[in-house]
Structure formats: C-alpha cells, structure tokens
Amino acid sequence: MGILSRMIPTEDASARKREIEEKLKQEQETLSFIRENLEKSDQLTKGMVSILSSFESRLMQLENSIIPVHKQTENLQRLQENVDKTLSCMDHVISYYHVAKDTDRIIREGPTGRLDEYLACIAKIQKAVEYFQDNNPDSPELNTVKARFEKGKELLEAEFRNLLTRYSKPVPPILILDAISVDEELEVQEEVVLEHLPEAVLQDIICIAGWLVEYGRNQDFMNVYFQIRSNQLDRSIKGLKEHFRKNSASSGVPYSPAVQTKRKDTPTKKVPKRPGTIRKAQNLLKQYSQHGLDGKKGGSNLTPLEGYDHDLRVKLMTDALTEKHGGAAGKDDVLDIEIDSYIHCISAFVKLAQSEYALLLEIIPEHHQKKTFDSLIQEALDNLMLEGDNIVSAARRAIMRHDYSAVLTIFPILRHLKMNKSEFDSTLQGTAASTKNKLPTLITSMETIGAKALEEFADSIKNDPDKEYNMPKDGTVHELTSNAILFLQQLLDFQETAGAMLASQVLGDTYNIPLDPRESSSSASSYTSEFNKRLLSTYICKVLGNLQLNLLSKSKVYEDAALRAIFLHNNYNYILKSLEKSELIQLVTVTQKRAESLYRELIEQQIISYKSSWFKVTEHLSEKNMPVFQPGTKLKDKERQIIKDKFKGFNDGLEELCKTQKGWAIPDKEQRDFIRRSQKTVVSEAYRAFLQRCANISFTKNPEKYHKYHPEHVEQMIEKLFDTSA
C-alpha cells in the first residue's frame, strides 16, 4: 500500500512535464515564424523608403524644370491680353470718329417707319458725345457729333408732333353718343372705349416721349401734346354739337344716325328726359310776357285743359300754329336744339376728358400729368363755360324785358350740371383751383338768375294790370291764369332744381318756412331735399295767392256781377282742375293742406253769386204782391195789371238773361251741365208753380201775349246758356 501510493504521483509529474515541453516547442516555432516575418517586413520597408526617396528626388528635379517655363508662359499670356485689349480700345475709339459718318444717312432720313433703328443710332451718337467730352473736349469731332445729336433730337420731336397730328382725329359724334348714353333696361352698361390713337402709333409716341424725357432733356413736347390733343377735344365737342343740329333739324331725332348704324351689341340709346313742353310753354309765356305785361292786347296761347275748348281757345291755338308764327317757332326749335346740344356736350366733355387723361398717363411723365391735363382741357372747358355764361346773360336780358319764361331754358341745363357735378369734380381733380371753380361758378350764376326769374314772375302775376280790352268778353279763363298754371306745371319735372334755386338765395325767411333742426346749416347748400320741396311748395302757393288776388281785381272790370262770377268761377275751376290733373296738387298740399277744399269753396261761392243774377227773373214768379182772389171772382184792373207785369217781367228778364248769358262761356262741360241743370230746376219749378196759380185766372183777353213760354221751352232756353254756337 505504501509503495503504490508513492508511484502514482511520479507518473503524473512526467505526463505534465511532457505536456509543458510540447507547448514550449510550439511557442518556439511560433516565435521563429514571427521573427522571420519581421525580417521580411523590415526588408520591404527599406525597399519602399528607397523608392519614395527616389520619387521625391525626381519630383524636385521636375519642379525645378517646370516652374520657370510656367512663369514665362504666364507672362506671354498677359502680354497677349494687353495687346488684344489695346487693339479693342483702339477700335472702339476709332469707331467714335466714324459715328457721324455711319449714322448720317439714317439721321437724315428720319425715324419714320424705323423708330427702333433710329433710336439705336441716336444712342451711338450720344455715346460718342460723352466720349469726346470726357477725353477730348477740344476736338472738332465733338462739335460734329453734338450737332448730329441735336439734329436727331429735333427729328424725334418732329416725329412726335407728326404722329400726334396725323393720327389724332376728332371722336365721331356717334361714338360719343354711345359713350354717354344710358340704357335703363340694362343692369350692366357696356363700356364704350374711346380709342384716340392706333395701338402701334401710341407705342411709338410713348417710346419717343420716354426718350425725350430721359435723354433729350426736353419738355417742349408736352406743350405740343396738350396743344394738339386740346384742339382735338374741342373739335370732338363741336362735331357733336354740329351733328346734333343737323340731325335734329332734319329728323327731330338727334340719335337717328346712331340708331341706323347701331351694332347688335350696342345698347339702345335713351334720350335723356327733357321737358318736351318747355319750349312750347316758353313760346306762350314769352308772348304773354311781351303782350300781357307790356300793355298790348294779346290772348292766351295755352293748350287748353280738357273741356276748355271754346271758340276763343281754338282760335288762339290755331293762331299759334299758323304760318304767321312760323318764324318764331323755327327760332325756338333752334334754341331747343341748342339746349339739348349743350346738355349733351357737358356729358361728352366729362367722358372725353376722362379718356384724354387715361391717354395722357401713358405718355406724359407723372410729375407733369396734372399740369398738362389742366392745359389740355382749358379750351374746350372755356368754350362750354362761355356758352353757359351766354345762356345766363340771355336769361338775364330776357328777365329785364319781363320775359320770365327764360328760366325754363335754365332748368334742364342746371339740373344736368348739378347731376354731373360730382363726376365733373372727380375728372378735374388735381387741376388748378381756377379750373375747378368754373362749373360751380356757372351753377351759382344759373341758380341766382333762375331764382330772380321765379321771384319776378310771382311779382308779375300779382302786379299784372287790369285792362278792359284784355279781359275775355265771354268770362272764360284769363291768359294770366293759363300762363301762370302752365309755368308752374313746368316746375314739376324740376322740383329739386327749382327748390334748390330758391334755397340758394336763402329765401326761407321770405316765405316764413320753419326749418327742421336736423336741416339747420350755415350755408344754403346744406338745405335738404325735403326743405327745398317745402320751399317750392310755398313759392307755388305764393304764385297762386297772387293770381287769386289779381283775378279778384280784374273781375271788377266787369260791370255785370253775374259775368264777374262766371269769370272767377272759370278761373278758379281751371286752376283746381289743372292742379288735380298734374302733380301740382301734391306739391301745393305740402304747405297748404286745404288747398283743394278752399278752391272748391271759392267755386261754390261764385256759383251761388251767379245764381243770384236770376233773382230778377224768379222774383216775378213769387207770391209777393200777388192778388188774393176767389175762384170765379172777377179781378180788378189793378190786380190784372199786377199779373200782367209779373208775366212781362219774367218774360223780359228770361229773354234778356238768355240772350246775354248765351254768349258767356263755361269751358268745363261738367260744371256747365251742373249750373244749367241746377238753374233749370230752380226756374222751371218756380215757373210751373206760378203758372199753376194763374191757371184759372182770367187777367187778359190775349193770354198768349203774356204766357209766351211753356216750362219745357224755358228749360230749353236755359239749356242753351253758355253755348255760343246755339
């Protein structure tokens, strides 16, 4: 056991030793391999270092050889560039000496038809001028190119003038009428473009204007521009005026040529509403003013109200339309055309001025646009304002002759001016104050003279003298009444204008009209439309009041109280019917609520007054002084005479009244029938009662001598009253 235990450890140690020896051997082999590889690596490194050293050496040799060559080449290139630049500069400088010669032909021939080429030549000349000024200011070439540049600029200015002159044409009247017309049936109005210059020509003009501003240092072309365009603007308006005269004179329709040539898509023109009866009214009122107020005999020429168709009115209307008045009518037609023409020329001026400003914006420099536009429109604007001033002066002279109808001429013009004032002011925005104030000044003049005419007309109605030979013998409507009503009716289409006329003269205090606090203002221009309406209403009431007072005074010319009543009845009835037939009654009731009932009361009073004329007839039929008798009793001579006198008084009075009143006139059929019927009833009933009382009385041997008329015959006689044809 002991020996065995000692042998086992010895074997383990040997085995372990062998194992260690084997590992050691392996490590030694690995070490030998590593050493061999290290030796090889060292050899390779030495070879690479040797190669790199050799390459570096060769590179240094190459660099030392190339750098001098590169420097020489670079110097040669720089020298070549300098030579090229020098040659180029020489060519450029030499070219300046040949500019005058090279551009001579083009400059002499001018820019017409080749503006771009011409401007290129001018640019070359301009550069030559700049070169010589900078480098050789004393050279003769400088003077040559300067002269050539000035010549070129002159030709450009001439071309600018020629293009404007050649292609600027007046706008055709038809096109202007298209532009200012308004078709109320169309929701969207077609914009009519006024093309003043062809597009190609416009572009050339814009190009020339731009060059003259930038390089020409010249503003004279702006004067040329406004002079030429101003002339065309004025010619366009005059052409429209001439067109208006010719076509209105030939056809009475100023738009007829436009209608005939109207394009399919052209809106139908609407003739602006103008008072169709104003000229006729002015004719009649003028005759009234010249005859009635001046003390000369004359009749009313008013177109009678329906029912006022008696012989006198028919005769007067016939006279007014006969050839003996043809000359005056012709003059009035011409004046009517002139008024319409002037109204349209105002609208045309605004439209044309707007299109001229749009054209000017493309051509004239911005800081010169307003001044040039101001100068451009002056001639046309001055002519329009002068024509307006002439209208005012003519109205003033007419008023001095007591021809108050002249205000009717001003109404449509003034209304149109005021309606277009805002657009007028917008168009003239930026112009001089004197230019802007021309229209307001004209409006003020028209309002002043219009208010004066209105006031003097009202006074003339009040102060028209009572002249026996000027009074209608048949008691019909007086010319003063018919003309006054006609005048007032013309105010209906111009209520706002007439009210503003009165308000502009601050006449509120004159009429004692209370002003609503909301309408208070320190200037007349702030009066509201409602106040103006009340002011006009009060004016109309004043005229009617003056007319009533004058009619009362005139009626005293009649010695016959019945004829006086018929006269007043006819005039009051005519006034009332005229007020009711037109819108005058609505205007009157603004300040006089009971106007209609007051006139009816006046009419009723005159009917009652007229009926009293029959008392001298019917009083013979009363029981007054009638003898009391018993049937079958013989009357005394005195009693028989009383009955005879009653019959005779009735017969004579009836015959006299019927003979006299048959020649009187009540033009209104309704009133005429009413008065006849009423009077016929009163007289017939009284006469029948009288005959019944005398039926069984024997008061004469010849009863047919006294009982001349049967009741039916009496009624027939009364039925023929106020009938000159009976």
DSSP 592-610: -TTHHHHHHHHHHHHHHHH
Average pLDDT over residues 677-692: 88
Average pLDDT over residues 688-712: 79
pLDDT of the residue at 546: 94
Q: How far is CA 135 from the centre of its chain?
A: 64
To the nearest 10°, report the CA torsion of 681, 686, 692, 698.
Answer: -140
Distance CA(46)–CA(51), nearest Å, equals: 9
Q: How far is CA 173 from the centre of its chain?
A: 17
Find out whether 667 and 630 touch, Cβ atoms under 8 Å.
Answer: no
pLDDT of the residue at 131: 75
pLDDT of the residue at 268: 35
> Any residues with CB less than 8 A from the CB of 497 and at least 6 apart, and which?
411, 414, 415, 418
The pLDDT of residue 542 is above 80: yes
Measure the CA angle with vertex 178, ends 173 and 181; round to 5°.
115
Confidence of residue 470 (pLDDT cuts 50, 70, 90): confident
pLDDT of the residue at 304: 40
pLDDT of the residue at 576: 95
- Cβ neighbours, 10 Å, residue 135: 11
pLDDT of the residue at 625: 65
Q: How far is CA 508 from the centre of its chain?
A: 28
pLDDT of the residue at 695: 73
Residue 602 vs residue 296, higher pLDDT = 602
DSSP state of 195: -
Average pLDDT over residues 593-605: 94
User: Look-up: residue for tokens 């002037």?
Assistant: 342
The pLDDT of residue 677 is above 70: yes
Which of 40-54, 88-102, 474-488 has the lowest average pLDDT? 88-102
pLDDT of the residue at 280: 46
Query: pLDDT of 343-387, one tens digit each?
Result: 999 999 999 999 999 999 999 998 899 999 999 999 999 999 999
The pLDDT of residue 322 is above 60: no
pLDDT of the residue at 185: 45
Runs of H (alpha helix) within 110-139: 115-135
Find out whether 205 and 164 touch, Cβ atoms under 8 Å.
Answer: yes
Q: Provide the 3-class DSSP secondary structure of residue 420.
A: coil
Average pLDDT over residues 272-292: 44
Distance CA(301)–CA(324), nearest Å, equals: 14
Q: What is the 3-state secondary structure (H, E, C) of 515-580?
A: CCHHHCCCCHHHCCHHHHHHHHHHHHHHHHHHHHHHHHHHHCCCCCHHHHHHHHHHHHHHHHHHHH
pLDDT of the residue at 458: 92
- Cβ neighbours, 10 Å, residue 88: 10
> Any residues with CB less than 8 A from the CB of 134 and at least 6 apart, and which?
none
Measure the CA angle with vertex 144, ends 138 and 146; round to 5°.
85
Query: pLDDT of 544-572, one tens digit each?
Result: 999 999 999 999 999 999 999 999 999 99
Q: Dig out the tokens for 343 from the structure.
A: 């109204």
The pLDDT of residue 645 is above 90: no
Measure the CA angle with vertex 261, ends 257 and 267; round to 5°.
100
pLDDT of the residue at 220: 82
Q: Dig out the tokens for 387 from the structure.
A: 């024509």
Q: Dig out the tokens for 542 from the structure.
A: 């004043």
Mean pLDDT (the chain) is: 79
pLDDT of the residue at 95: 59
Please name the amino acid found at residue 191: E
Q: Provide the 3-class DSSP secondary structure of residue 701.
A: coil
pLDDT of the residue at 517: 38
* Percentage of residues of the chain with pLDDT beyond 70: 77
Measure the CA angle with vertex 140, ends 136 and 142; round to 5°.
60
pLDDT of the residue at 93: 63
Average pLDDT over residues 148-161: 86
Confidence of residue 335 (pLDDT cuts 50, 70, 90): low
* CA-closest candidate to residue 562, choices 611, 600, 524: 611
Query: pLDDT of 69-89, one tens digit each?
Result: 888 888 888 888 887 777 666
Find out whether 692 and 685 touch, Cβ atoms under 8 Å.
Answer: no
The pTM for the full model equals 0.70
Please name the amino acid found at residue 302: L
- Cβ neighbours, 10 Å, residue 329: 16
Which of 114-128, 624-638, 649-663 has the lowest average pLDDT? 624-638
Q: Dig out the tokens for 700 from the structure.
A: 């004469």
Find out whether 149 and 129 touch, Cβ atoms under 8 Å.
Answer: yes
Distance CA(695)–CA(624), nearest Å, equals: 17
